[in-house]
Structure formats: structure tokens, C-alpha cells
């Protein structure tokens, strides 16, 4: 089914519970071939916390790089050297 340029997956109403546990994309709910509603999943609180933690880590890393004058290439080079030493 196409709605406003986006492809929306259709599922049977009885499949909603199983589908929503496994997927995070919007769906059209159907009953006997008729669309009876739409389901747009909300982001779970744990996902929001994980995303915020990741943003904080990126900010901290950016600040550390700025303070030390290191570049991403410097870190990659150090990582590769340490990896060689451990093998």
C-alpha cells in the first residue's frame, strides 16, 4: 500500500502483537482486506537512554580530542599498533 510516497507494510490485526515485538516500522492494520488503522511504533525508553548515552560519549570524545590535539587518524594508528603488539 502506498500512502503519500511511503510504502506501508500491511499485516492482519491478529498479527500485531508478534509483529510489533520484532519490528519498528510503521504498518497498516487490516481486517478482511480493509485498513482499520495504522500503527506507528514509539521509541522505547531504553532506546532513548541508549541514544542519549551515545550522544554524551560522542561529546566527551570530541572534547578530549580537542583538548589533547589528537586526531581520529592518531587514535586509529595507535589502535592498529596496539593490535599488532597483542598478536
Residues 23 and 49 reside in one and the same domain: no
CB 11 within 8 A of CB 29: yes
Residues 35 and 51 reside in one and the same domain: no
pTM attached to this predicted model:
0.42
Residues 25 and 58 reside in one and the same domain: no
Residues 18 and 49 reside in one and the same domain: no
Q: CB neighbours (10 Å) of residue 23?
A: 13
Residue 58: give the domain boundaries: 45-86
- Residues 6 or more apart whose Cβ sits within 8 Å of residue 19: 11, 27
Q: Are strands 27-31 and 2-3 parallel, antiparallel or unpaired?
A: unpaired
Residues 31 and 6 reside in one and the same domain: yes
Q: Over the stretch 61-83, which tens digit does the pLDDT of each residue have?
A: 888 888 888 888 888 888 888 88
pLDDT at 2: 43
Q: Looking at the 3D structure of the chain, how many domains does it have?
A: 2
Q: Over the stretch 24-57, which tens digit does the pLDDT of each residue have?
A: 788 787 888 888 888 787 777 887 888 889 899 9
Confidence of residue 8 (pLDDT cuts 50, 70, 90): low
Residues 34 and 53 reside in one and the same domain: no
| Cα three-residue angle 14-9-33, rounded to 5 degrees | 55
Amino acid at each position: 500500500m502506498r500512502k503519500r510516497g511511503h510504502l506501508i507494510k500491511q499485516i492482519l490485526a491478529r498479527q500485531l502483537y508478534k509483529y510489533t515485538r520484532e519490528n519498528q516500522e510503521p504498518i497498516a492494520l487490516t481486517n478482511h482486506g480493509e485498513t482499520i488503522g495504522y500503527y506507528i511504533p514509539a521509541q522505547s525508553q531504553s532506546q532513548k537512554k541508549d541514544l542519549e548515552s551515545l550522544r554524551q560519549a560522542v561529546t566527551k570524545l570530541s572534547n578530549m580530542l580537542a583538548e589533547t590535539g589528537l586526531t581520529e587518524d592518531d587514535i586509529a594508528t595507535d589502535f592498529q599498533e596496539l593490535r599488532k603488539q597483542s598478536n
